[in-house]
Amino acid sequence: MTTLYSLSALSPGQSATVQALHVDSGFQFRLNALGFRVGKTLELIRIAPFNGPLHLKLGNTEVMLRRQDAANIEVLM
């Protein structure tokens, strides 16, 4: 049985696969341009201190994403 999690629930060093983007269409377009697509594998590199953003790696691209935005991305670990 597989369990879906919010992207913000990952710990540094963990990898996951994007399953759904629960955002408005404009932000979804921007996320798609950055590489966030259903089925894409990503890795959480680090979490910035003081409730800062998440540092993610998608393929060869590294992205910083706010925690509140990461909470709207569903992933499979």
Q: Which domain holds residue 24?
A: 4-76
The number of angstroms, rounded, from the C-alpha of 32 to the middle of its chain's C-alpha atoms is 11
Q: What is the pLDDT of residues 8-50, one digit of tens each?
A: 999 999 999 999 999 999 999 999 999 999 999 999 999 999 9
Cα within 13 Å of Cα(35), Cβ side = 15
pLDDT over threshold 80, residue 2:
no
Give the pLDDT score at 1: 53
The structural domain count of the chain equals 1
Paired sense of beta strands 15-21 and 41-47, if any: antiparallel
Find the CATH number of the domain harbouring 69.
Answer: 2.30.30.90
Asked whether the beta carbons of 75 and 20 are under 8 A apart, the reply is no
Q: What is the pLDDT of residues 55-73, one digit of tens each?
A: 999 999 999 999 999 999 9
